[in-house]
Structure formats: C-alpha cells, structure tokens
Structure 1
Amino acid sequence: MKESEATRPLHHADLSEAELERELEKGLEDLAAGRVRPAKEVFAAMREAEKITYDPSVPSYKNWKELEQALEHDNTE
C-alpha cells in the first residue's frame, strides 16, 4: 500500500470476523512481498505523530526505552 492510500488505523473491535481475517491476510501479503518497516522506525513515526501514548495500566513496558531495548534484544537473537 502506498502511503497516499493509507487510511485511519483499524481497530479489531470495529471489524467483523471476515474483515479482520482479510486485514490480517493483507498484512501477511505485505510481509511476503517485503513491504515492511523496522519496528523502531514505526514506533518513532507513531510517537512523532502522537498516534499512541503510554498507558500505565497496560502491564507490558514501563516506558519507550524499555520497549526499544526489548526490540533490540529480539533483533539480536
């Protein structure tokens, strides 16, 4: 998908099971075709665009630095 074709982010709760399956298939097709971006690049763009915020109620990473360290660790294995 070209960036000019991008639409608002989808949320799984807004999709039917068939729509969700199709969106997942599209993602796998992009992956197979090499239409990918490094996660760190995506997160940086999201932070820049203020599309996501840190939610302290989510029991995952305490901050962006922890998440970035986890991503670096995953890429070295």
Structure 2
Amino acid sequence: MGRPDRPASRAVIGTVAPLRLRGRLRRTERGFLLDMEDGHVWRLNGAQDFPPLVDAVVVVEGRKASPSLLDVLWLGPA
C-alpha cells in the first residue's frame, strides 16, 4: 500500500506474462510462422534466421501483439 499523499505506482499494472508455445517453425517469403498442433498459426515478429530449427519442433517465448502475431523473446529447440 502506498503513502496517502502519493499515488501508487502503476508500472506493474497492464503487464502481460509472456506466452510459452510449442509448434513447428516454418519460413515463408514474408517471415517465420509457428504452426501449432491445434491448428493456430502465429506470425513471429523478431525471429532470426536459424536454419537448423526451420521445419523442426520449437519452443517460443513471446508477447502476444495481436491475435496472430507474437513478438519473440526467445526461440529454441523443443
């Protein structure tokens, strides 16, 4: 609880925990996609080219930017 003469900090309010997703990494002409087993396809913003992981099952940690766009924080083998 903050002091009565000073409003409480709002820095924590509105933060969203990153998602941790598993799926198959695909490269397209326009960037990278993550194909999930449930049929959902995520576009990956910030994913870097890493040839050994293309067409492999990967784990992606990122923040949801839209219903189909994920801002990648980390990507690695599953």
TM-score normalized by the length of structure 2:
0.21
Looking at secondary structure, tell me which structure has more helix per residue. Answer: 1
TM-score normalized by the length of structure 1:
0.21
Looking at secondary structure, tell me which structure has more strand per residue. Answer: 2
Greater relative CO (CA pairs within 8 A, separation 6+): 2
